[in-house]
Amino acid sequence: MIKISQNAFAGTLESSDCLVTITPNESNEVNFEINSVVFKQYGNSILKAAQNTVKKFDISGADIKIQDMGAFDCVIEARVETAIKRALKGAK
Amino acid sequence: MNKIVKNIKEALNLCGIKDGMTISFHHHLRNGDNVINMTVNALQELGIKNLNLCASSLFQVHSPIISAFDDETITTVESGYIGGDVGVAISNGKLKNKAVFRSHGHRPSDIKSGKIHIDVAVIAAPTSDDMGNCSGKFGKSACGSLGYAMADAQYADKVIVVTDNLVSYPLCDFSIPETQVDYVVCVDSIGDPEGIVSSTTKITRDPAGLRIAKFAVDCIKNSGLLKNGFSFQTGAGGASLAAAMYLKEIMLKENIKGSFCMGGITGYIVDMLEAGCFETLFDVQCFDLRAVESLKNNPRHKEVSAEHYASPTSKSCIADKLDVVILGATEIDTDFNVNVHTNSQGIIMGGSGGHSDVAAGSKLSIIVAPLIRARLPVIVDRVNCISTPGKTVDILVTQRGIAVNPAKKDLAERLKASGLPVFDIEALKNIAEDFSGKPEPVERGNKIIAEVLYRDGTVIDEIMNYCG
Amino acid sequence: MIRSLMFLPGNTPNMLINGDTLGADALILDLEDAVSPSEKDSARVLVRNYLKNLKARKQFFIVRINSTDTDYWQDDLSEIIPVKPDCVMPTKVNGDKMLNKISDFISSLEKKFDIPEGTTKLLPLIETAEGVENAFNIASANNRIFGIALGAEDLSADLRCRRTKEGSEILYARTRLICAGRAAGVEIFDTPFTDVNDIEGLCKDINFARGLGFSGKLVISPRHIDYVNELFSPTEQEINYAVEVLECIKEAEKLGKGAVSLHGKMIDAPIVARAKQVYEAAYPSGTRL
């Protein structure tokens, strides 16, 4: 388990994109906060995409916030992945 | 005789305004209009209650009137289009009674027959003389056509003209005559010119929008309708205007002389008139300054009333002479029913305008829409609200393909033969869901907050409240 | 047949999503100039996911990678090769050595991910004076080369010439590339026309390039795609003539005739070869004959 120790973000607030922000927290959990223009229709799908991406990295202790502008799951996954990689940069 | 009254409040009093009356407005000042807000404010000050607000359209600029829903100054709204926060407020159940939607053509029909009885009509007029001969063509708040106000002026019990450009008698080139006007009020400003007309209307630069426009024009070209005498209507939004641009290229290249273009007129349509694509423009509403200038100066650009445009009970109307119309949609279902009243969550954000009128009247109605908007597929199993029935919709054009109403087999064959990507609407829906995933259904409330009347007078659909 | 190759910025989901609806024969997903240095990491993950997620690829998908004098090109390839783009576009290609370095790296990745070696094609972008002079070496560097493309904007800077719409300053580079490409048996694609709104100028430029012998053209504006496709397609007249030639040859073969003439003109091997090219371009699935 690698504990997230620095802030990072990826993506934009343009249409069909999303902005993913990662901040370290004190726990060992990874928490998600999702704001989406299509939350009612796709909120569950967005959460699943984000969780699946996090699973690929052995990380803990992070709050992941996703501000979604109607991005497809493959875009959500890409932005979460980049944000995690950036947060891990320089970490052991 | 003196019709000049010093303010709106006094004019309303002179009209005998009372609780429960119907007061009407037109929407030519669009999102720059100041007159509805001023009048509603005066009504609140007068303490009048339970009014029916019969406005041809309402926009974001009218959000102050929500306070008049709360204090029950206004308890009913009848309109053709309700946008912005006003629509949201009604969806949230802020209005005491149901809102009633009618199309732009249906409204004057019901006013004329007395189904809507207007007690007081308030007409925002960019220029008026002291007897109420008025026009939208001149003045700092010029809006062009006053087509939607004509039935109100003709049939209301009392008519108040509100202007910010009072000229000496007579205003020669009037649109509404003094014979219909009771009082004239001069105010500092009837609206914000920037919200009334755009300085220029720009064609979309969105590549998908351009693709859709190209396909739409390919459909027109291969429909067999594009020949001398061709008549056409298109909107001012996104792909619609780009379609006009491509259509102009083809008409000029193939030397096709159209008969008329109906609208909602923009500078692009004026260009088509001036380039010889059409003989005549019929104008019920100007969208930009070029349209206003042209209406003022070009005798082949003619102002028409909403009744003449599209009333289903008039002896005849322009909508029924249209060959092709290009229209938008927020949703379309697999039966080709179109929703332009609500967004995908069921919140009111628009209305038919003339959508259902021209879909019914034209020979070929084309819906243009991106297949996916912010992840949401435009094609659904059942639209949140039926604005225009599927039986009057012929083609859906998206950037990923075209669907033809199964009732039009010949048309589908023609388009396929020309190489256009024609799909079953179900197949197009599946393509969208391959990208987006299937959207989860949005829960709807259990209270009816608006009903949508079709142009034959039947209730075509009901809109439920939004439960956040 | 590839006539139009449209650039799409690699870090803009909104542009990628509809890229395949624009009518271009090939799409170039750009990790180079369209992506700022701070977003290179983000773009290659996005492009990778986009390609992986695409259900049906109807177009030829090319990924433009950063040049070998940056720290990015190997990371670009490492992300991209596993999702099997049709082709990679290396930039500022000077000669076969640089190209073989890229090709070797791709080979190692193909091996790692169980992709048959040579699956990924290369479309080198030639945009330096040295590259132009080495055009034939580049075009024939290895089996991955599917075509070569001219990038005249960077080239003009290298040549210190004045870039004009007429393009007399790049005429040498254009003809040199065509000669090299045809000699090596690969496709040759022309530099993009950069004035988005000058459609008349665009059509002139396309017709000139087609006349010189280019196979197609790079495109930076969606508005240009239809014009490139149309003007790089055979005309009806050319198609009809090609069909006549091929029918004539078929007939002659049946009758066992050696020499054939059509409209009083001898039909020799080059004319037949050209007719076949036109026919294949017009009917990729071979429907008419």
pLDDT tens profile C3-60: 999 999 999 999 999 999 999 999 999 999 999 999 999 999 999 999 999 878 889 9
C105 CA: distance to closest CA in chain A (Å): 23
CB contact under 8 A, A74 and C12: no
Query: In whole angstroms, what is the distance from residue A52 CA to residue A42 CA?
Result: 15
CB contact under 8 A, A38 and B439: yes
Minimum-distance CB partner of A71 among C13, C45, C48: C13
Query: In whole angstroms, what is the distance from residue C141 CA to residue C165 CA?
Result: 32
Tell the CATH topology of B207-442.
Glutaconate Coenzyme A-transferase (3.40.1080)
Residues of chain C above pLDDT 70, percent:
98
Which chains, if any, share at least 3 CB pairs under 8 A with chain C?
A, B
Query: In whole angstroms, what is the distance from residue C218 CA to residue B372 CA?
Result: 28
Q: Give per-residue pLDDT as tens, B280-330.
A: 999 999 999 999 999 999 999 999 999 999 999 999 999 999 999 999 999
Scan residues 23-82 of A and list those with Cβ closer than 8 Å to B: 37-38, 40-45, 69-73
Which residues fall within 8 angstroms of residue B53, CB to CB, at 6 or more apart? Answer: B23, B25, B40, B65, B74, B76, B77, B78, B79
Residues of chain B above pLDDT 70, percent:
100
Minimum-distance CB partner of C13 among A17, A82, A85: A17
Give Cα B133 to chain centroid, integer Å.
Answer: 25
The answer for C244, left when phi > 0, alpha when psi is -120 to 50, beta otherwise, is alpha
CB contact under 8 A, C21 and B214: no
Q: Cα–Cα distances in Å, from B84 out to B285, B328, B353, C218? A: 20, 18, 15, 43
Strand partners, B348: B342
Task: Sheet with C125-126: list strands edge to edge.
Answer: C121-122, C87-89, C60-64, C26-30, C4-9, C216-219, C187-190, C147-150, C125-126
Residues of C in contact with A15 (CB under 8 A): 14
Q: Is B101 exposed, middle or buried (0-12, 13-18, 19+ CB in 10 A)?
A: buried
3-state secondary structure of A38: coil
Query: In whole angstroms, what is the distance from residue B293 CA to residue B144 CA?
Result: 8
At residue B288, the pLDDT reads 92
The string of DSSP letters for B49-74 reads -SEEEEES-B-GGGGGGHHHHHTTSE
Give Cα B4 to chain centroid, integer Å.
Answer: 32
Average pLDDT value for chain C: 93
Angle at which helix B238-253 crosses helix B267-274, to 10 degrees, equals 10
Minimum-distance CB partner of B399 among C15, C21, C223: C21
Q: Give per-residue pLDDT as tens, B232-275.
A: 999 877 788 899 999 999 999 999 999 999 988 999 999 999 99
Query: Which residue in chain C is spatially nearest to B211 when comparing CA positions?
Result: C22
Residues of C in contact with A16 (CB under 8 A): 13-14, 17
Summarize the confidence of residues B151-164 as an average pLDDT.
Answer: 98
Task: Sheet with B379-380: list strands edge to edge.
Answer: B338-339, B331-333, B379-380
User: Where does B220-257 show beta strands of DSSP type E?
Assistant: 231-234
Minimum-distance CB partner of A73 among B344, B437, B439: B437
Helices (H), B298-390: 306-310, 355-361
pTM value? 0.91
Query: In whole angstroms, what is the distance from residue C74 CA to residue C183 CA?
Result: 30
Is the pLDDT at C250 greater than 90? The verdict is no
At residue C284, the pLDDT reads 63
Residues of C in contact with B211 (CB under 8 A): 18, 21-23, 222
CA atoms within 13 A on the CB side of C167: 25
Residues of B in contact with A45 (CB under 8 A): 437
Bond from prior residue into C284 cis (ω within 30 degrees of 0): no
Residues of C in contact with B435 (CB under 8 A): 17
Is the pLDDT at C189 greater than 90? The verdict is yes
Summarize the confidence of residues B5-13 as an average pLDDT.
Answer: 97
Q: Give per-residue pLDDT as tens, B163-183.
A: 999 999 999 999 999 999 999
Query: In whole angstroms, what is the distance from residue C133 CA to residue C208 CA?
Result: 22
* A&C contacts, CB < 8 Å: 42
Query: Which residue in chain B is spatially nearest to C196 when comparing CA positions?
Result: B205
Model confidence at C287, in pLDDT bands (50, 70, 90)? low
- In this structure, whether the domain defined by B4-196 belongs to CATH 3.30.70.20 is answered with no
Interface of C with A (CB under 8 A): 12-14, 17, 41-42, 45-46, 48-50, 52-53
- Cβ density class C123-152: b for 16+ within 10 Å, e for less: bbbbbbeebbbbbbbbbbbeebbbbbbbbb
Residue A72, domain extent: 2-88
Minimum-distance CB partner of A74 among C14, C41, C49: C49
3-state secondary structure of B201: coil
At residue A92, the pLDDT reads 47
Minimum-distance CB partner of C49 among A17, A77, A86: A77
Minimum-distance CB partner of C50 among A15, A74, A86: A74
- What is the greatest pairwise CA distance in chain C? 69
At residue B103, the pLDDT reads 97
Residue in A13, A14, A15, A16 to test binding to C, most C beta-carbons within 10 Å: A16
Query: In whole angstroms, what is the distance from residue B206 CA to residue B346 CA?
Result: 26
Which chains, if any, share at least 3 CB pairs under 8 A with chain B?
A, C
The answer to whether C41 touches C61, Cβ cutoff 8 Å, is no
3-state secondary structure of A10: strand
Closest CA to B38 of B56, B62, B58: B62
C12 at the B interface (CB within 8 A)?
no
Which residues fall within 8 angstroms of residue A9, CB to CB, at 6 or more apart? Answer: A19, A20, A21, A22, A83, A86
CB contact under 8 A, B376 and A70: yes
Residue type, B60: Q
Is the pLDDT at C134 greater than 60? The verdict is yes
B359 CA: distance to closest CA in chain C (Å): 27
CB contact under 8 A, A45 and B437: yes
Which residues fall within 8 angstroms of residue A3, CB to CB, at 6 or more apart? Answer: A24, A28, A59, A60, A61
Summarize the confidence of residues B123-148 as an average pLDDT.
Answer: 97
Summarize the confidence of residues B26-32 as an average pLDDT.
Answer: 96
Query: Which residue in chain C is spatially nearest to B400 when comparing CA positions?
Result: C21
- Please report, in angstroms and rounded to a whole number, the separation of the first and last CA atoms in chain A: 11
Model confidence at C285, in pLDDT bands (50, 70, 90)? low
Is the pLDDT at C257 greater than 80? The verdict is no
Query: In whole angstroms, what is the distance from residue C132 CA to residue B109 CA?
Result: 73
Average pLDDT value for chain B: 96
Is the pLDDT at B199 greater than 80? The verdict is no
Token reading at C257? 């005739």
CB contact under 8 A, C49 and A71: no
The answer to whether B57 touches B65, Cβ cutoff 8 Å, is no
Residues of B in contact with A16 (CB under 8 A): 374-375
C36 CA: distance to closest CA in chain A (Å): 13
Q: Cα–Cα distances in Å, from A14 out to A70, A86, B345, B374? A: 9, 20, 21, 10
Which residue in the block uniquely carries the two structure tokens 């926009």?
B59
β-pairing, C216-219 vs C4-9, is: parallel
The string of DSSP letters for chain C reads ---EEEEEETT-HHHHHHHTTS--SEEEEESSTTS-GGGHHHHHHHHHHHHHH-S---SEEEEEPPPTTSS-HHHHHHHHGGG--SEEE-SS--SHHHHHHHHHHHHHHHHHTT--TT-SEE-PEE-SHHHHHTHHHHHTS-TTB-EEEE-HHHHHHHHTPPP-SS-GGGHHHHHHHHHHHHHHT-EEEEPPP--TT-HHHHHHHHHHHHHHT-SEEEESSHHHHHHHHHHTSPPHHHHHHHHHHHHHHHHHHHHT-SSEEETTEEE-HHHHHHHHHHHHHH-TT----
CB contact under 8 A, A38 and B373: no
Query: In whole angstroms, what is the distance from residue B401 CA to residue B431 CA?
Result: 10
Token reading at A86? 């950036």
Q: Cα–Cα distances in Å, from B170 out to B128, B131, B293? A: 9, 8, 21
3-state secondary structure of B326: strand
Query: In whole angstroms, what is the distance from residue B378 CA to residue C63 CA?
Result: 30
* A&B contacts, CB < 8 Å: 37
Closest CA to C215 of C260, C174, C161, C250: C174
Residues of C in contact with B399 (CB under 8 A): 18, 21
Q: Give per-residue pLDDT as tens, C139-176.
A: 999 999 999 999 999 999 999 999 999 999 999 999 99
> What are the residue boundaries of the structural domains of chain B, listed by start?
4-196, 207-442
Which residue in the block uniquely carries the two structure tokens 């070998």?
C68
Which residues fall within 8 angstroms of residue B267, CB to CB, at 6 or more apart? Answer: B200, B201, B288, B289, B290, B291
Is the pLDDT at B343 greater than 80? The verdict is yes
What total number of domains does chain A contain?
1
Which CATH number fits the domain that encloses residue A57? 3.30.230.10
Minimum-distance CB partner of C223 among B210, B372, B400: B210
Sites in chain A below the pLDDT cut of 70? 91-92
Summarize the confidence of residues C265-276 as an average pLDDT.
Answer: 84
Q: Give per-residue pLDDT as tens, B56-89.
A: 999 999 999 999 999 999 999 999 999 999 999 9
Closest CA to C212 of C238, C237, C178: C178
Q: Give per-residue pLDDT as tens, B412-463.
A: 999 999 999 999 999 999 999 999 999 999 988 999 999 999 999 999 999 9
Residues of A in contact with B436 (CB under 8 A): 42, 72
